[in-house]
Structures are given as structure tokens and as C-alpha cells.
A and B are shown apart, each in its own frame.
Chain A
Amino acid sequence: MNVSEELRSSEERILQLVSFNLGSEEFAVDILKIQEINRMTEITKVPRSPEFVDGVINLRGKVIPVIDLRKRFGLPEQEHGKNTRIVVMDIQRKIVGFVVDSVSEVLRISSATVEATPPMVSGIDSEYIRGVGKLDDRLLILLDVNKMLSSGEVEMLDGPSVEEDIATSKAVTTDTAKLGNEKVTEYRGMAGMVEVNRDIEKAIDEMSSKVELTREDLQKLVSHVKGILEGNFMDEDLELYGDLGELAKFINETKKSLLQFDAAEITDKDLPEASDQLTSIVEATEEATNKILTDTEELLEAQGRIAKVVDAVKAIKVNKNTKGSESRDFAVTELKEISDLANAKLMDIMSACNFQDLTGQRIQKIIQLVKRIESKLMMIILSFNIKLQEKADSVDESKINKEKEMLAKLEQEELKGPQKKGEGVNQSDVDDLLNDLFG
């Protein structure tokens, strides 16, 4: 038996999985079934929804049903913490979110290490389980995503279908690209690496059948490439052959730069902090604007009193052609002019407060973009097997929920919001158009 035959004969496949935790158990699902992973957000209860659904979340305008996986598996319920994640998956062509205690990493395990399911795994019904994977001393419960809901249950779900989701993703991707700065471009490049990983696996397959290499060479090569994919770094002076070697080096370099770039820290700390800061700005301007409005309202009230003073002064009886008459008329004229001016200026101040609404909308759009980058970056980090080190300093959950609420306000993609100077149309353009429309 030659090398290629030997490699092919074992029907070994590499499974690429995302692992997550529920209590003390570690579960894993096929990475291709995962659409995205999000931080915990407020789950809205929906009246008359199927009993197995806990509520819905608003994910960039899409309303997605959410199921608490603890409940689903009959595990005791637990309060959501800072590690709680909603794993959005494609279940029989429906988009569904599952609440899990935490998401740990992307794993590559050989299908050979997966064993058939024992009838009961820690009380969880075996119908959901595809098998049990062994990874050093860890026991990984592989879930069969399509069986996590019965077909009857899937029909009861109102969420968007995968087809709709693809359309939205396309729109979102285009939008992100447009809005993208240097970093976004960088992240997108990294996202491409997931594809590269797959290409390498294909290349290994092809090489084993075509290339004339010694058994030793090939095994060395395969073990190096696998090592890189599984999280090790390549020795600097390692010699690898041909295209495969080039690809392996490329992945190695990318992983290194991801680490230097401190992607995990950025996703876990910097981006949420940026959102918090932006939210604070919106709140601060709102507070300041309300203060200005309160003062302006008080002054406008005072204006009403000045009008009465003018009337009172007018009513003062003085003899004609005396100094008193001149003074009175002067006072009336001046008071009226000052009052009119103050009135006009107060209304101008009031109009200027428009800015709060306009800047608020822009900032909310930026918060939304930051959230998208966070979600995408998290997927990239998981794909590259970089451990997410949860920091001890917890993120204030209530703040996150508030942000999500604000984000919900921004979901309408077709609305462009405030126009920049020189973009969009001004009021006179609108008036021309209205004249045309109303004939």
C-alpha cells in the first residue's frame, strides 16, 4: 500500500467545530452551521409564540427566535453573565439563536476520534447528539444541529429563512465595505483565511494522490500544516514545499499578526468600550440639549411677561408734551424691540437644538458599525483558534442592553439619515419636488 492509499483508506475527515459550554459540559457544533455569535442581549417575550421559544432578539432589523439551550436540554436555568452568548445557527434553513453559557473556541478534530453516543449523556436526550469526541482529556458532545428542533417546531418559527438571511448578509457586507475604514479591510483579509484553511485540506488530499513524495516527507508536511491549523506556530526555519508550504507560511504569518494585533483584546474590551463611549456622548448631548431647552422655555415664558409690562407702561398717564411722555414712549418702543429680538433669538436657539437629533442618529449608526465589526472579528478569532481570554473586569450588562435598544432604532437600512453638507437635498429642493408632486 503506498502512502496516498494509506492516507485515503482511513475514512478520516477533519471536523471543524465551535465549542461552547453549558454547566460543566462542553458541546460542539459544525462551524458551517453557525451564522454568528453575539453577546447577550435583551430577549423580548412574544405573546402566543410556541412554548419552546423563549422570545426574540432584534439582530440588525431581523427578528430572530431565541431558545435557551439549558432549558432545551433540561438543565437547571441560570442567570446570564458576561460570558453568555447567543449562537445564531441555521437549523433546517431557519435562523435560530441559542443561548449558551459561553463560547470557547474553534476545534479541529478527526472524525475517527468521535464515538457513537451512549444512550444518555449527563441527562441530555441522545436524540440531539451526533457523537462524543475525545480531545486529550476533554469529552466533547457533538450536537446534531438539524435535530435540535423537530420539523414541526421549525414550521412554527417565524424567523427569517436562510435565503432571506443571505440576501441581508449581502446587503450588510456591501454596507460594511462601504463604511469600512482601514481596519475593516484588514479584517476582511483575515476572514478569507478560513477559506484558505479549507483549500489546504483539499491540497493535502490532492497531493497525497498525485505528488511523488516519500512517505516521510508527506507525513512531515501534513503534520506541520495540521499543527499550524490547530494552534501551534511554525518554526521559523522550517522548510516546506511548493504551494502548500507557501500557504502554510501565509497562515502562520496571519496568525502571528492577529496575535500582535491583539484581536481578542480588541473584540472583548476595546470595541464594547468604544460603543459605551459613543452611547455616553449621545446621552451627554441629550442632557445638555434638554438643559438648554428648559432655559429657553423659561425665557420664552418671561417674554410673555414683558408684553404685559409694555401694556402697563403704555397705560401710565402723563401730561402731553412733558418729559414723562417722552420717557414712556421711549420705554414702550425699546421694550418692544428688545422683546421681539429676544423672542426671535430664543427661537433660533431652539432650532439650533436640532443638532442633538442629527448627531445622535449619526453616532448610533457608528455604534451599529462597531457592533458588526465586533461580531465579525469574534468569528475570525474563533476560526484561528485564538483563545478568548475573558477579562475579569466585567462589562456592565445594563449598558449593553441599552445600546442594543438604541441599535434597534437604526435598523432600517434604506433610510440614510442626516445628509452631509452637499449631499442629499435641501428644503428648497424638497419644495420644488413637492410642487411637482402636488401639481
Chain B
Amino acid sequence: MLDSSAKILVVDDFSTMRRILKNMLKQLGYENTDEAEDGNQALNKIKSGSYDFIVTDWNMPNLDGLELCKAVRADAATKDIPILFVTAEAQKENVVTAVQAGASNYIVKPFTAEVLKEKMEKIFG
């Protein structure tokens, strides 16, 4: 499992959702979290700081989660950072598209802390 000192970036355009995710991560023992409100902001942070894990929404203004994911995967310096989608987009095609873009796993909103924990265990073994 991911080390509890791991630096995690939470990306969502809704402030309440960022807060929920950060709280859930805190409950799972991860307090070193940071947040971004869209893909552009996230990408700037990812390029300047070393993150161990990215949790992102899909539908966001400016740069969406899918484009963010592609950009992270395209950069040699960041391509291996695990990316977990947490999104309301619940069509099968959405899941396929996200995985093809390099998503490590996929959670459909609304979700619980257990689902988040389970997905993180899957990603980090």
C-alpha cells in the first residue's frame, strides 16, 4: 500500500468534492494532500512538485480530467504517477476512454470511503 507520507493531488472543480476526497484520504491515513480546481492548475502543480498519486474528476472547465491524464502520461517525468478517476461520467465508453488514456482505476460518483480504499489497494497492491 501507498506510504502514508505520500503526496496526493486532488483535482475537482467542485470545492465540496475536493473537501470530501481530502477528508476520506485523511481517514485512510494520508494527510499530505494538495488540491487543484481544474486540469490546467493540476498540470502546473504536477510539473513543479513531485506527486505520488493523482485523484481527478473528469468534467472540469479549461482542461478536463481526460486531457490532464493524457498530458501526465505524455511527459516522461510524470508518466508513471498513478491516476484515479472519480467522476459522475458513468457510461461504459467513458470508462474505456479513460483507461485508454492511461487511467489507473475508475470510481463512479457517488462513492464511499470503502470504495476509495479498495481502489487504492488495487493500484498500490
Contact = CB atoms under 8 A, between A and B. Distances in A.
Interface of A: 286, 289-290, 293, 296-297, 300, 347-348, 350-358, 360-361, 408-412, 415-419, 423-427, 429-430, 433-434, 437-438
B16 A409 contact: no
B4 interface: no
B89 A417 contact: yes
Contact of A430 (B58, B64, B108): B108
A438 B92 CA distance: 15
A255 to B, nearest CB: 41
Given A350-B23, A351-B110, A434-B106, A412 B92 contact: no
B77 interface: no
Nearest 6 pairs of A and B residues by beta carbon: A424-B90, A354-B110, A418-B88, A419-B90, A409-B61, A357-B14
Contacts of A353: 16, 20
Contacts of A352: 110
Contacts of B19: 290, 293
Contacts, number: 114
Contact of A427 (B24, B99, B111, B113): B111
Given A357-B14, A419-B88, A424-B91, A434 B110 contact: no
Nearest to A429: B92
Contacts of B113: 347, 350-351
Given A290-B15, A351-B111, A434-B95, A361 B60 contact: no
Contact of A300 (B14, B15, B23, B59): B23
Contact of A409 (B23, B60, B91, B112): B60
Interface residues of B, number: 36
Label chain A's interface by main secondary structure.
Answer: helix
Contacts of B106: 430, 434
Nearest to B90: A424
B74 interface: no
B58 A415 contact: yes
Given A356-B17, A425-B90, A427-B111, 4 more contacts: A293-B20, A300-B27, A354-B110, A415-B94
A354 B111 contact: yes
A354 B17 contact: yes
A286 B15 contact: yes
A360 B20 CA distance: 15
Contact of B16 (A357, A427, A438): A357
A140 to B, nearest CB: 41
A290 B16 contact: yes
B95 A433 contact: yes
Nearest to B100: A437
Contacts of A416: 89-91, 94
B15 A427 contact: no
A353 B113 CA distance: 12
A360 B110 CA distance: 13
Contacts of B15: 286, 290
A426 B90 CA distance: 7
Contacts of A300: 23, 26-27
